[in-house]
Structure 1
Amino acid sequence: MFVANNEEYHCPVEALANILGKKWVANIIWSLSKDSKRFGELNRRMKGCSKKMLSQQLEILINSEIIDNEKEINNNQVESVYYLTPKGKSLLPTIEQMVLWGEKNLPCK
């Protein structure tokens, strides 16, 4: 059994597809590939994604241990910083291959 997003799967590919198949997940992971980002920075990068949807997608990635959230207190304000875990960084070659495949095989308008 494989578990992704609190659901059980018989196949690891199906489990991974359940996570990466969410609309904003791959974009979030790719946005965090170079460095950590605060929520507002991620929100600006995800054009068309509501704050609620972004929060839900981040929660899925945190629960899957793909990203982590570090809270910092600066001048009595809490800043939430998101970054890839080692598990999340190991997904980058897969996402890069998805990008290359899409560029080669899917028409762009």
Structure 2
Amino acid sequence: MSSLIVEEGCPPRRIHKLLTPKWTSMVLYILHHGPLRTGQLQRSMPGVSKKMLTQTLRELEGDGLVHREVFQVVPPMVEYSLTALGERFVQPLLALYDWAEDNAALLDELEFNREQANQQEARSGVADEPD
């Protein structure tokens, strides 16, 4: 069997690089449901810090996936929405999130297995050997 080589410039690596930041896919998913202000976005994602959300939004705006609109009111209001490119990128995420909804029991099993493995590793004090 020949070995699979995932080259740096290939599409799977490129999409992985885009989705690597922790909150990227969640921001795209939430904005798919409509434009929101920063505070609304942050309330939609408990656990994300304002700094991390701002950084994620800047990166997505720079990538052309999110549009930032500043309204000239007092105090200034900023609203974020998906661009046409962002709408295209969110489509496979929607399929993945639908799968997650339909397979919550599998996710529970995975989390249980991970927790058990972490507890066993902590008891034994042995970590995996590096390759």
Match of 1:41 in 2: 40
Q: Is residue 107 of structure 2 the alignment partner of residue 107 of structure 1?
A: yes
C-alpha offsets along residues 59-109 of structure 1, whole Å, 9 cap, x if unaligned?
A: 1101110001000022x2211100000000012220012213434384226
Which of the pair has more CA radius of gyration?
2
RMSD of aligned alpha carbons: 1.7
Q: Counting strand residues as a fraction of each chain, which structure ranks higher?
A: 1
Shift of 1:29: 0.7
Which residue identity is paired with 1:83? S
C-alpha offsets along residues 23-57 of structure 1, whole Å, 9 cap, x if unaligned?
A: 11111111111210001100111100100000111
SS at match of 2:69: strand
**Identity percentage over the alignment?**
28
Correspondent of 2:75 among 61, 74, 77: 77
Runs (5+) with no aligned partner, structure 2: 1-7, 112-131
Match of 1:17 in 2: 16
- C-alpha separation in 2, matches of 1:13 and 1:65: 19
Q: Counting helix residues as a fraction of each chain, which structure ranks higher?
A: 2
Instruction: Work out which structure has the larger RCO, using CA pairs closer than 8 Å and 6 or more positions apart in sequence.
Output: 1
Q: TM-score, normalised by structure 2?
A: 0.69
Task: Give the count of matched residue pairs.
Answer: 100
Runs (5+) with no aligned partner, structure 1: 1-8
SS at match of 2:47: coil
SS at match of 1:81: strand
Match of 1:55 in 2: 54
